[in-house]
């Protein structure tokens, strides 16, 4: 039987994409890489998603998974071993990941934009200003510059916490095996190290530096490049799978209603479609698109708002 292609839409320098790539390594996954621009417009990506432009996006046939939380849930379902939640670490791993994706990422990003904002082209600054609609300052180098000392202190404090977790000699954040917590802590530090070098201050935390070395060694699995056009035809030639939803957790939402789904933190482009399912973890919308035909777009509940379309 042919295994469905696992396609990642991403760009090399994206930290959230690195969170997924390292999980490909952890699970020894063979995947297809579609490189997308780091700024809007991203016409092939938004043809698949219906407007969502953040990176990364996972595509499996005509199923489109937005946001790393939703992507990882699907990867864990399809490739359960080795698990992202070894030895019942589900709750801890998710809590650490929520902190890393938000707080650790915000200090790493703020410091990169504060220290090196002038390295980025004006178009990128304009794009990120639109992207955040002034509600998240991390990508704003003018606002970040005066905060550099505070951001340095914050990142140092966060790295000290992580160093102290590793003090008992454990190999990974939650014990002997790598988990979601490791992937989530890794991506902001990978981004800080890649952009700030020694200024990131990792070398001053020897256990954390060694842990980074162990994470680097995990790699990205094996990868084949795919063109944006080929990814669109994969979607056109596939039918969306029929997902399962947990009963009794749809709240006031009804299957079949037209809704809008929108991130609540940054990148507020809404996606409209027919609600085909919703539960505590996932929101799934059907869309019919001229370029890609019938697709189902999946989002996590966490960090997304669902409202009636209108």
Among the residue ranges 49-57, 155-163, 271-279, 290-298, the one whose residues contact ligand GSH (CB under 6 A): 49-57
Q: For residue 49, state whether it binds ligand GSH (rule: CB under 6 A).
A: no
Among the residue ranges 50-58, 172-180, 200-208, 288-296, the one whose residues contact ligand GSH (CB under 6 A): 50-58
Q: For residue 55, state whether it binds ligand GSH (rule: CB under 6 A).
A: yes
The number of residues making up the chain comes to 310
Q: State which residue, 19 or 205, has the beta carbon closest to ligand GSH.
A: 19
Q: State which residue, 55 or 296, has the beta carbon closest to ligand GSH.
A: 55
Site string for ligand GSH, 78-117 (x = CB under 6 A): -----------------------x----------------
CB of 283 to ligand GSH, least distance (A): 14
Q: For residue 53, state whether it binds ligand GSH (rule: CB under 6 A).
A: yes
Long-range CB contacts (< 8 A, 24+ apart) of 98-101?
98/302, 100/181, 100/184, 100/185, 100/187, 100/188, 101/16, 101/19, 101/68, 101/184
* Rounded-to-integer distance, Cα 177 and Cα 182, Å: 9
Contacts of 102 (CB under 8 A, 6+ apart): 265
**Helix boundaries (H) for 101-255:** 105-116, 122-132, 141-144, 148-165, 180-196, 206-218, 228-236
Q: For residue 267, state whether it binds ligand GSH (rule: CB under 6 A).
A: yes
Q: For residue 67, state whether it binds ligand GSH (rule: CB under 6 A).
A: yes
Task: State which of residues 9, 54, 287, 301 lies at the interface with ligand GSH (CB under 6 A).
Answer: 54
Q: For residue 16, state whether it binds ligand GSH (rule: CB under 6 A).
A: yes
Exposure string for 215-252, b = 16+ CB within 10 A, e = fewer: beebebbeeeebebeebbebbeebebeeeebeeeebee
Which residues bind to ligand GSH, rule: CB under 6 A? 14-16, 38-39, 53-55, 67-69, 101, 131, 267, 303
């Amino acid at each position: 039987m042919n295994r469905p292609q696992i396609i990642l839409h991403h760009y090399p320098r994206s930290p959230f994409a690195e969170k997924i790539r390292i999980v490909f390594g952890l699970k020894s996954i063979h995947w297809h890489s579609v490189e997308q621009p780091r700024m809007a417009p991203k016409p092939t990506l938004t043809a698949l998603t219906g407007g969502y432009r953040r990176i990364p996006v996972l595509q499996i046939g005509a199923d489109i998974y937005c946001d790393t939380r939703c992507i990882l849930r699907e990867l864990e379902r399809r490739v359960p071993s080795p698990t992202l939640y070894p030895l019942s670490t589900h709750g801890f791993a998710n809590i650490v990941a929520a902190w890393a994706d938000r707080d650790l990422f915000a200090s790493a990003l703020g410091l990169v934009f504060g220290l090196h904002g002038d390295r980025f082209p004006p178009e990128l600054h304009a794009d990120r200003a639109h992207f955040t609609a002034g509600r998240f300052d991390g990508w704003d180098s003018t606002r970040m510059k005066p905060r550099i000392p505070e951001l340095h202190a914050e990142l140092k404090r966060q790295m000290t916490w992580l160093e102290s977790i590793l003090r008992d000699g454990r190999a990974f954040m939650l014990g002997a095996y790598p988990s979601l917590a490791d992937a989530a802590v890794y991506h902001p530090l990978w981004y800080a190290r890649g952009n700030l070098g020694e200024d990131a201050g990792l070398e001053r935390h020897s256990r954390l530096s060694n842990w980074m070395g162990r994470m680097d060694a995990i790699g990205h699995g094996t990868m084949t490049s795919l063109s944006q056009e080929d990814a669109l035809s994969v979607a056109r030639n596939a039918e969306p799978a029929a997902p399962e939803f947990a009963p009794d957790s749809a709240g006031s939402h009804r299957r079949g209603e037209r809704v809008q789904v929108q991130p609540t933190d940054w990148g507020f482009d809404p996606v409209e479609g027919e609600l085909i399912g919703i539960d505590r973890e996932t929101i799934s919308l059907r869309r019919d698109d001229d370029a890609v035909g019938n697709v189902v777009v999946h989002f996590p509940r966490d960090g997304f708002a669902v409202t009636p379309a209108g």
